[in-house]
A and B are shown apart, each in its own frame.
Chain A
Amino acid sequence: MRSRQRAGRAPLGLRLAAAAGLLYLHVPMFFILLYAFTTDDKSYQFPPPGLTLHWFGVAWERQDIWNALFLSLRVAVASTAMAIVLGTLAAAALYRARFFGREAITLLIILPIALPGIVTGISLRAAINLADIPFSFWTIVVGHATFCIVVAYNNVLARLRRTSGSIIEASMDLGADGFQTFRYVVLPNIATALLAGGMLAFALSFDEVIVTTFTAGQQSTLPIWMLTELVRPRQRPVTNVVAVFVIAVTLVPILLAYYLTRGTESTAGAGK
């Protein structure tokens, strides 16, 4: 009954303030949903003059949306894969090993999300310019993978730290060499962390816009498509339909990642 004691009754003022804060965090998203059904496509009139499913059909027919969606998916898959490999290697090397420059490497991994996105973006742009590299699918992926590494790294490192170090020793003790130990003991134990890290990296990449605007050139990912629509709206509710879709696509991996790593470790500390 320890939890009962701990959850002692909070003062009314505190509860109201917390409730108001949570409403502030969540209510705005309902308007995205609401405006996907409005009949008004010239302004953001509230209350909507009427409700319709018309825009879902319109969005379905728009080839530019499909193109942007497929580009975003391909980018997210590629950068997630690279981030998982690189982040896991980094976590494995830095877990328990103590060597000169360890702190500096940790800082280097965190830097791409610690510095404002625009710094990462303009840096990559500067490098792309200097090296005279044409914009391509891969210039986007390189940018995304760079800031996704830390997500995979954090998840795997947290899991490695939580996993008893002696099970690796136990495995080698019982006759398994390094590769067998990795396959039979390490991998099964970090699998869900890898998956969670991958999910979060995917969500992060799928809706990234700041770095992408610098590395995409003329290509349009789904967030870039949305940004263009926000600045120069054409059929406003169509943007809402896409936004609803983006929420759904990112919500699933985030929730999955949460359930995969439920427990003591925090996946959120990584941030964006």
Chain B
Amino acid sequence: MRPAVSFAQVSRHFGDVRAVDEVSFEVRDGEFFAMLGPSGSGKTTCLRLIAGFEEPDAGDVALHGQSVLGVPPYDRRVNTVFQDYALFPHMSVLDNVGYGLMVRGVPKAVRHRRAAEMLELVALGGLGGRRPAALSGGQRQRVALARALITEPEVLLLDEPLGALDLKLRQQMQTELKALQRQVGITFVYVTHDQEEALGMSDRLAVFNQGRVEQVGTPEEIYERPATAFVAGFVGASNIVDAAAAERLIGRRLAFSLRPERIRIGGPADGAGDGEHRVAGTVASVQYHGASTRIEVALDGALTLVVDRPNDLRGEVRPEPGARVRLSWPAAAMQPLDGGAG
């Protein structure tokens, strides 16, 4: 099957700023695809290139194998849920949701019925008569979703849709959105700067940095096998060890990343199995994080490693700063990095 969205060497520049710089990736049909990156990394511009609000300066954007260069937004079967929701302030909720049908000339009775059904789908039945201003943030979010889904787009674009919501509501909406996507079976392209959101919701994700795609993969691939130092550092916490430090630490000149939770910490006398790397160091700081404790260990030789230890080990003594400790990790936990890391 043809990819729902494909970018081929796409660039978009604003003056001297390379917002999107020779980006290529594909979004498979029916998947939940996240675009993750810090602000200004080009993910939102990519979204706008798909929607048709921007045209690339170079390269090609295709929807289901058809190039959409020069196709205005209203002729693309792609709808957007905007970051600020962009509900029409002068229309009722029902008219907002039915807008896509209205401009296609669907008779009033039909579109009102369909809009009411869509509102039921997003659990807002009965609120159709209200104005957007009379809704809460979470409710507006759902109206924006219903409005974007009513015309059954081939791809739904979501631009940081949960950014304006508080934490509790955000977690609830994450679950609902994921369920909704499975229910309607539409390809979702989801822009976020929140790595937890991206990992938790998406089937696959692309990590953006400075207008480029650093890595595309499943959440597991991205987390377990980050391809670059940026990905390793941006998605979850990571110890990034550059080639020179790696030579001192493990005797091989190979930059790698190491997740803090993969490192085991023990007293100086603890043994370790074969195939494991072992180093010794001094505890520099201890931070209690609730579910886990973060311990910074200064190794003998200028390098500091961060270690996360789960707090479910009852009775164990938490190391104090200044204590000598021995660290160990399986060789497989070290993820080699592309290029010059750190």
The answer to whether A and B come from one shared complex is: yes
Query: A-side interface residues toward B, CB under 8 Å?
Result: 164, 166-167, 169-177, 180, 184-185, 188-189
Of the candidates B74, B83, B90, B104, the one whose C-beta lies within 8 Å of that of A173 is B74
Chain A positions within 8 Å of B42 at CB level: none
Main secondary structure of the interface of A (DSSP, over half): helix
B99 engages A173 (CB within 8 Å): no
**B150-174 interface with A by 8 A CB criterion:** 151
B103 within 8 A of A: yes
> Chain B interface (Cβ within 8 Å of chain A)?
51-53, 72-74, 78-80, 82-84, 86-90, 99-100, 102-104, 147-148, 151
| B88:A177 contact, CB within 8 angstroms | no
Query: B72 to A174, Cβ gap below 8 A?
Result: no
Give Cα A175–Cα B105 distance, bound, in whole angstroms. 11
Is there an interface contact between B86 and A175, defined as CB atoms closer than 8 Å?
no
Interchain CA distance A170-B150 in the complex, whole Å: 14
Q: B51–A185 contact, CB under 8 A?
A: no
- Chain A residues near B78: list those with CB within 8 A: 173
Are the C-beta atoms of B86 and A177 separated by less than 8 Å?
A: no
B82 touches which of A170, A172, A176 (Cβ 8 Å)? A170
Q: Is the CB of B74 within 8 A of A177?
A: yes
CB A55 to nearest CB in B, in angstroms, measures: 47
Tell me the minimal C-beta distance from B167 to chain A in angstroms: 25
CB distance from B76 to the nearest CB of A (A): 8
Q: What are 10 A-B interface contacts by the 8 Å CB criterion?
A: A169-B73, A169-B86, A170-B147, A171-B103, A172-B72, A173-B51, A173-B78, A174-B99, A177-B72, A177-B103
B74 near A167: Cβ-Cβ < 8 Å: no
- Cβ contact within 8 Å between B103 and A184: yes
**Which residue of chain A has its CB nearest to the CB of B98?**
A174
Are the CB atoms of B89 and A189 closer together than 8 Å? yes
Told that A166-B82, A170-B88, A172-B72 touch, could you supply 10 new A-B pairs with CB distance under 8 A? A167-B86, A169-B51, A169-B80, A172-B52, A172-B73, A173-B73, A174-B79, A175-B100, A175-B103, A184-B103
B104 to A, closest residue via Cβ: A175
Cβ-defined partner of B74 (8 Å) among A164, A176, A184, A189: A176
Would A174 and B151 be within 8 Å (CB), given that A164-B84, A184-B99, A184-B102 are in contact? yes
Question: Which residues of B have CB within 8 Å of A167?
Answer: 86-89
